[in-house]
A and B are shown apart, each in its own frame.
Chain A
Amino acid sequence: MMKKLWIISLILLGVAGCSEEFKVSTYHVDDDQQEIETLTKVFKDNQNLSEAAAVFFDHQLVVSVQVQQMSKFKKEKIRKSIEKKVKSAFPDHDVYVSSDLKITWELKKIIDEQPTTDELKKDLKKVKALAKEET
């Protein structure tokens, strides 16, 4: 009985883990829906993504993407292709694309808090500095 319960719960866990839905979270200071839609379309075109977060601020665009489990080996390649597409979609923005989990967490924190302009400037500076660290 106990063994059967274990097996069933393991299968359920596996199924729940596999059916991952694609989530996009964005924050635009000027609330420009058209720009958000353009960006979302870029993400949706790529089948390998599992999660994406983006923050627009004063012609700056910080994006972080998470790839699906089996695509982790090609993470850098996917990041580069996303970066290229976002840059061509927003030529007047200073685009930064990261595939780091920590950057995704930090961006999501910013999106949840919806900070004021001054705080956002400081936060984005911190995120960018964090992403540049090598060791």
Chain B
Amino acid sequence: MDAESYQKTVDQIAPKRPVLLNCMKAFLTGGIICAIGQLVSFVFMYFFSFTERTASNPSVATMVFLSMVLTGFGIYKKIGQFGGAGSAVPVTGFGNAVISAAIEHKSEGFILGVGVNMFKLAGPVIVYGVFSAFVVALIKTILVKMGVISW
């Protein structure tokens, strides 16, 4: 059996994925998470002296912390099962990735288990996040120096 016919057989036997329903679920979950994030940023603006621009940093930190706590209690797993990518794409997915990896490897000890494996999933996010931020900043600096756009 070659690869093509194997794929055909798999397509025939495998149950059909409800793509549209999954998309709706992901949209709803991601939307609710973002609405909570907006609420948190409003709280920071209303009760503390943060402006729309400066409130984004503490709100992101709060959302990551919340998702870390929810992961620890096993609630974020259920949200992830329902929402799929809708729960992974917002910044809360980052906190979930860090803590779930730490919990998984806790039995191997705190240094070689938790310490080594904590950023197994989240590491690529940090590496490529920093790298792409560097590239974008480089391009923008060049464009500003050339006088195409302004800061």
Looking at the assembled complex, report how far the CB atom of A32 sits from the nearest CB atom of chain B, in whole angstroms: 29
**Does B51 lie within 8 Å of A100, measured CB to CB?**
yes
CB-CB < 8 A to A102: which residues of B? 45, 49-52, 55
A-facing mask of B72-109, CB < 8 A → 1, else 0? 00000000000000000000000000000000000000
> CA A74 – CA B90 in complex, angstroms?
24
In the complex, the answer to whether B53 meets A130 with C-beta atoms within 8 Å is: no
B43-78 CB mask vs A (1 if < 8 Å, else 0) is: 001100111111101000000000000000000000
The DSSP consensus for interface residues of chain B is loop
- Counting chain A CB atoms within 10 Å of each CB, which of B51, B53, B54, B57 scores highest? B51
Query: Taking the nearest CB of chain B, how far is it from the CB of A110, in angstroms?
Result: 14
**B-side contacts of A101, CB under 8 Å:** 45, 51-52
Contact with A along B18-39 (1 / 0, CB 8 A): 0000000000000000000000
Bound CA span A132–B51, Å: 10
Q: A102-B45, A105-B45, A105-B46 are in contact. Are A130 and B57 (CB under 8 A)?
A: no
For B55, the chain A residues whose CB sits under 8 A away are 102
The answer to whether B46 and A135 have CB atoms under 8 Å apart is no
B53 surroundings in chain A (CB, below 8 A): 100, 133-134
Whether A103 sits at the interface, judged by CB under 8 Å, is yes
Q: Which residues of A contact B (CB under 8 A)?
A: 100-103, 105, 130-131, 133-135
- Residues of B at the A interface (CB closer than 8 Å) are 45-46, 49-55, 57
List, sorted by A's number, 21 A–B pairs whose CB atoms are closer than 8 Å: A100-B51, A100-B52, A100-B53, A101-B51, A101-B52, A102-B45, A102-B49, A102-B50, A102-B51, A102-B52, A102-B55, A103-B51, A105-B45, A130-B49, A130-B51, A131-B51, A133-B51, A133-B53, A133-B54, A134-B54, A135-B57
